Structure 1
Amino acid sequence: MERREAVIKISWILKSVYLAPAIFTGLTSCKSDVSSSHLYVFSENQDKLVRAIADTILPRTETPSASDVEVNLYMDLMLKEVYDDAYKDSFLKGLQQFDENCVAYTDNRFFDLKEAEKLDYLNRLDTVAYGEERAGLEPFYRRFKELVVAIYFSTEEGVKQNLKYVPIPGPYEGDVEVTAATRIMKGN
């Protein structure tokens, strides 16, 4: 065997060792663990609250809403599979505190409010959550909103309906005119 051929074979062996976990993860993640019939972490009321908040953040327009792409179920699965118990407990306490604060402020639970009242309440929370810097403390609503948006744009419907989805980007175009109708290009 020549030295060049040996180097090529060794490089393929090293590449396969390096890429095997990523390929395995990619293949196993193709199956969907998200099921609308089973909640792992959320109770029925918590799920209802999560859907109400998420749909107020990302409502149905000409694109699907957050609950249309099952953001609540992905969030539930993420809390079960990805986050540790301390974060999960903190998240659930924050969700409960959100509901209690809403009752104290509006005399109703969040999912019982009318759409305009929900939007007004969340706009007030946006002002507080993004307007103040709190010594290392991140408000629950800010964390929740960022998680909803991240999950939404991680779904197939969220990407294809809201972004100009190009699976394989074309040639480089350095000078492109941007208008109000231009979408952000998202490739693989």
Structure 2
Amino acid sequence: MNRRDALKHTALLGSATALSGSLLALLQACQSQSRTAWQPRFLSQPHARLVSALVDTLLPATDTPGGLDVQVDMFIDLVFDKMYDEAGKKTIVAELDGFDEKCVATFGKVFHELDPAQRHSLLEEEEARSPKFSPSVWGYPVGEQQPVGFYRSFKSLAIMAYFTSEEIGKNVLSYDPIPGTYKG
């Protein structure tokens, strides 16, 4: 490994470390708000309803808490507000508008007004149509990278927010920090 690659990898590792702390701080900020008092920081009310409906469809409540129960939509709003630059924010708004326009063109209603069967059929179509993440090994891309669309990026962010929430981490995932006695 030459010096240039070593510096690049060190910078990438440092950025990932700094970013993880920011994400945790954002997640903790979401936990202190109640759903009824939530005022989106970045999203407009129609966009907030769309994001909440997407989260509820992707991560519904079953015998485990759903995405809305652990405030994934609030977390996504904070990520869009704090971690995107102005160009990224404009892109997000355009993609949210485009997604709702597709819903109106297909069903005559915006996404949050659709019934569950219509929501699922639309998301199944998006799942089949949107490009998948390119393979990587330890975060380093393998082969040619293709741009990932709005749906795949949003789904990835929602799932990450769900599994890193305190409620899911403590009460749903079976993680034993002390796995038992050592016999050796």
Q: TM-score, normalised by structure 2?
A: 0.70
Residue 159 in structure 1 maps to residue 169 in structure 2? yes
What number of residue pairs does the alignment pair up? 149
SS in 1 for 2:148: coil
Amino acid across the alignment from 1:33: A
1:1-188 equivalent positions in 2, closer than 5 A: 29=25, 32-34=28-30, 35=33, 36-130=37-131, 136-170=146-180
Structure 2, gaps ≥5 residues long: 1-17, 135-144
Which whole-Å CA distance do the structure 1 matches of 2:29 and 2:80 have between them? 13
Identical counterparts, % of pairs: 34
Structure 1, gaps ≥5 residues long: 1-21, 174-188
> What is the Cα deviation at residue 161 of structure 1?
4.3
CA RMSD of aligned residues (A): 3.1
Aligned to 1:11: none
Which whole-Å CA distance do the structure 2 matches of 1:98 and 1:31 have between them? 26
Does the 8 Å contact 2:50/2:111 carry over to 1?
A: yes
Structure number with greater Rg is 1
> What is the Cα deviation at residue 172 of structure 1?
8.1
Aligned to 2:138: none
Change (3 A) 1:31 1:52: closer
Which 4+ runs in 1 deviate beyond 3 A? 28-32, 130-133, 167-173
